[in-house]
Amino acid sequence: MLNFTVGPVMSSKAVRVVGAEQVPYFRTSEFSELMFENERLMLKFTKAPRGSKAVFLTNSSTGAMEAVIMNCFTEKDNVLVVNGGSFGARFAQMCEIHNIPYTEIKLNHGQKLTKEMLYRYDGQPFTGLLVNVDETSTGVLYDTQMIGEFCKKNHLFYVCDCVSSFLADPFNMAECGADVMLTGSQKVLACPPGISIVVLAPIAVERVKKAHVNSMYFDLADALKNMERGQTPFTPAVGILIQINTRLKEIEAAGGEDVEVARVAAQAADFREKIKDLPFEIVSESPANGVTPLHPLHANAYDIFLKLKDEYGIWICPNGGDMKDAIFRVGHIGYLNHDDNTTLVNAFKDLMSKGLL
Ligand SMILES: *Cc1c(COP(=O)(O)O)cnc(C)c1O
């Protein structure tokens, strides 16, 4: 199998070896130590400000998005949601479900958010801003620094969904001033799905501690309190947390987060160079490193996905909804190298020679 999707992605050998072992009991000092190490490396790799905390939730990243909405906002807030695709729409839908007043900054598929567009909302009575830093459905990377300056000027509580951008695109939580960042285990962390991680800056920690959350499982104050002893309120996905530990240490040993970001960036650049003469259009105005969204000029995007999967054993990532027939995505995250790009490009060329691309 060769997997170019955006998650789950391929894992390193070390992560797979750990995954094959027995899952230990977890209310132990050994497991607490491992969790502290996970927290320390997450805070380091996100460049979180001093006094930040990380919590590990057992659910996919959508659970982390919803937990943040429930714990950080109320009906008294008024949030801006950057909505450039499926994940922006998900944030808007969550605000709807939890009765959080919101306004969407709607972008066309692939469109980037400019300063001018953002500052149309300057000086208005908003209290928060939600953004998917890489809107993975269209591969658009938003400018966290520019948005952060806007949030600072307008005193907005700033939430960054970095699910597919963490470790793929540069992110400096302290510098951009994000109050919360969230991510998941199955994207650039390249572990199995099941764990999401929320990093809270000191202001967010205070806010969460004071929140009245109408939920037992998604109570972040409870998660924070348990994390003081390196634990979680309920049984977590213990095996995946151990795999995350292996992976975080692997990244650290290879030089840290900036080296991993550069590796993913080079993987993306190599692919984009190799497809220059193929009949594709890159959809994103501001391509993120983690994924390249492609519009095939002469063929149906979903048919290409099926053909590659069924006849070549190669997985690319189909799009959903109204993008299904027009766009597919090629991921650059996980255990992939430049030779793998060549294998994929050769498969595209083979389809072309058969008149299928
Ligand atoms: C993948 C992704 C999510 C949600 O992930 P699940 O693990 O499927 O819940 C949220 N936001 C972004 C930007 C993503 O790429």
Question: pLDDT digits over 266-276, tens only?
Answer: 999 999 999 99
Flag whether pLDDT at 41 surpasses 90. Answer: yes
- Residues 162 and 47 reside in one and the same domain: yes
- Residues 167 and 148 reside in one and the same domain: yes
The 10 Å Cβ neighbour count of residue 341 is: 21
CA–CA gap between residue 68 and residue 200 (Å, rounded): 10
CA–CA gap between residue 348 and residue 343 (Å, rounded): 9
The 10 Å Cβ neighbour count of residue 311 is: 12
Task: Produce one character per residue of 188-218: b if its CB has 16 or more CB atoms within 10 Å, e if not.
Answer: bbbbbbbbbbbbbbebbbebbeebebeeeeb
Cα(166) to ligand 1 centroid in Å equals 12
68 DSSP 8-state letter: H
CATH of the domain at 232: 3.40.640.10
Q: By residue range, what is the domain housing residue 294?
A: 256-353
Cα(7) to ligand 1 centroid in Å equals 9
* pLDDT computed for residue 199 by the predictor: 98
Flag whether pLDDT at 38 surpasses 90. Answer: yes
Residue 8 inside a domain? The answer is: no
Look at residues 221, 253, 285 and tell me which one is the last residue of a structural domain. Answer: 253
Helices in 166-219 by DSSP H: which ranges?
173-176, 202-210
329 annotated binding-site participant: yes
- For ligand 1, is residue 237 a contact (CB within 6 Å)? no
Q: Residue 174 in 3-state DSSP?
A: helix
CATH of the domain at 282: 3.90.1150.10
Residue 4 inside a domain? The answer is: no
CB 189 within 8 A of CB 167: yes
Mean pLDDT, range 56-61, rounded to an integer: 98
Residue with tokens 């919101």: 102
Q: What is the pTM of this model?
A: 0.97
**Pocket residue to mutate for ligand 1, from 5, 131, 136, most atoms within 8 A of Cβ:** 136
Atom of ligand 1 nearest to the CA of 187: 1
* pLDDT computed for residue 123 by the predictor: 97
Mean pLDDT, range 304-320, rounded to an integer: 96
* pLDDT computed for residue 322 by the predictor: 87
Look at residues 253, 277, 301 and tell me which one is the last residue of a structural domain. Answer: 253
Comparing CA positions, the residue from 247, 187, 232, 206 lying closest to residue 28 is: 232
- For ligand 1, is residue 136 a contact (CB within 6 Å)? yes
- Residues 27 and 171 reside in one and the same domain: yes
Cα(87) to ligand 1 centroid in Å equals 7
Residue 5 inside a domain? The answer is: no
- For ligand 1, is residue 87 a contact (CB within 6 Å)? yes
- Residues 131 and 187 reside in one and the same domain: yes
CA–CA gap between residue 223 and residue 41 (Å, rounded): 18
Atom of ligand 1 nearest to the CA of 186: 7
pLDDT, mean over the chain: 97
Residue 281 inside a domain? The answer is: yes
Q: Which string of DSSP letters, residue by residue, matches 265-320?
A: HHHHHHHHHHTTTSSEEE--SSB-SSEEEEEESSS-HHHHHHHIIIII-EE-EE--
- Residues 201 and 275 reside in one and the same domain: no
Mean pLDDT, range 176-200, rounded to an integer: 98
User: Nearest residue CA, atom 14 of ligand 1?
Assistant: 163
Q: What percent of the chain has pLDDT over 70?
A: 100
Cα(70) to ligand 1 centroid in Å equals 17
* pLDDT computed for residue 284 by the predictor: 87
- Residues 234 and 340 reside in one and the same domain: no
Q: How many domains does the chain have?
A: 2
- Residues 220 and 187 reside in one and the same domain: yes
- Residues 268 and 192 reside in one and the same domain: no
Convert the pLDDT of each residue in 328-344 to its tens digit: 999 999 999 999 999 99
Residue 176 inside a domain? The answer is: yes
Convert the pLDDT of each residue in 80-94 to its tens digit: 999 999 999 999 999
Residue 7 inside a domain? The answer is: no
- For ligand 1, is residue 161 a contact (CB within 6 Å)? yes
Residue 1 inside a domain? The answer is: no
Rg (CA), the chain: 20
- Residues 230 and 343 reside in one and the same domain: no
- Residues 295 and 198 reside in one and the same domain: no
* pLDDT computed for residue 1 by the predictor: 85
- Residues 217 and 152 reside in one and the same domain: yes
- Residues 265 and 235 reside in one and the same domain: no
Look at residues 253, 287, 319 and tell me which one is the last residue of a structural domain. Answer: 253
